[in-house]
Amino acid sequence: MYQRKTTTFIQSLLLATLLSNILIVSACSAESSNTPILSNQSTPAEIYELGLAYYEGNSVPQDYEKSFSLFKRAADQDYAPAKYDLGTMYYEGIGVEQDYKKAMQWYLLAADQGLDVAQLNIGGLYENGYGVPQDYDKAFEWYQKAADQGNQEASNRIGKLVMNGKIDDKDITIFSTQETGLTLGDLEDSSEN
């Protein structure tokens, strides 16, 4: 009788262990199904997306080193968003030591491919003198490139530079959702009346 109870107990224990292992394997495979798997055939966009997943901790544990490595791999394949995010990691000091000069290098590479947010951030580096000599005219030039692509934040920063007297507002055109084509001088003249 004692042996029968022990055998039943061991069988129950083995069954419980087996079921828990099945649940663990199921949970792990469900979690990994949300995570892209890279191959040698992966596109830069796919590599970048996996880098973003590690950066944000989305369906994988957050890991800035893996994220940086994947962004670098995609950037080496000329993928502009990856270049931009490498710049941001250097700018913020996320996963790497903060380095405005390296941020500028990566932003320039992305901006050369027409990425407006990279152009915006280059303008910010010049406006604040981070990693480069402070230069409001260069900040304006980069903000203008981003604004020409419809980046509203860049337009706002141009307005801030003008309102703070950092740049001359002659011949600067403001475009609004109504496409007025007014210059800042027109607005200043109308506000004085």
CATH number, domain with residue 72: 1.25.40.10
Q: What is the mean pLDDT of residues 134-142?
A: 96
Shared domain for 184 and 122, answered yes or no, is: yes
**Total number of domains in the chain:** 2
Q: 148 and 164 share a domain?
A: yes
Final residue before a domain boundary, out of 82, 113, 144: 113
Mark whether 54 and 108 lie in a shared domain: yes
Residue that finishes a domain, picked among 58, 81, 113: 113
Q: Do 120 and 190 lie in a common domain?
A: yes
Residues 123 and 181 in one domain: yes
Note whether residue 16 is domain-resident. no
Q: Using CB atoms within 10 A of its CB, is residue 163 exposed (0-12), middle (13-18) or buried (19+)?
A: exposed
Q: How confident is the model at residue 9 (pLDDT cuts 50, 70, 90)?
A: low
Q: Is residue 49 part of a domain?
A: yes
pLDDT mean across residues, the chain: 81
Residue 31 is classified by DSSP as H
107 and 134 together in one domain: no
Which one has a higher pLDDT value, 191 or 50?
A: 50
Among the three residues 113, 129, 150, which one is the final residue of a domain in this structure? 113
| pLDDT of amino acid 168 | 76
Mean pLDDT value across residues 76-101: 97
Mean pLDDT of 113-117: 97
58 in any annotated domain = yes
Same structural domain, 125 and 82: no
50 and 109, same structural domain? yes
Residue 10 lies in a domain: no
Residue 157 lies in a domain: yes
- The range of the structural domain enclosing residue 137 comes to 116-193
pLDDT at position 77 is 96
Calculate the alpha carbon distances from 85 to 37, 74, 115, 133, 184 in Å.
21, 11, 11, 23, 33
Nearest to 85 by CA among 74, 71, 99, 73: 71
Position 94 in a domain: yes
Largest CA distance in the chain: 105
Q: Nearest Cα to 117, choosing from 80, 89, 167, 92?
A: 80
Choose among 86, 59, 84, 93: nearest CA to 70: 86
Residue 131 lies in a domain: yes
Is 12's pLDDT higher than 70?
no
Residues 142 and 180 in one domain: yes
Q: 130 or 42: which carries more pLDDT confidence? A: 130
177 and 128, same domain (yes or no): yes
- In this structure, the answer to whether residues 128 and 72 fall within a common structural domain is no
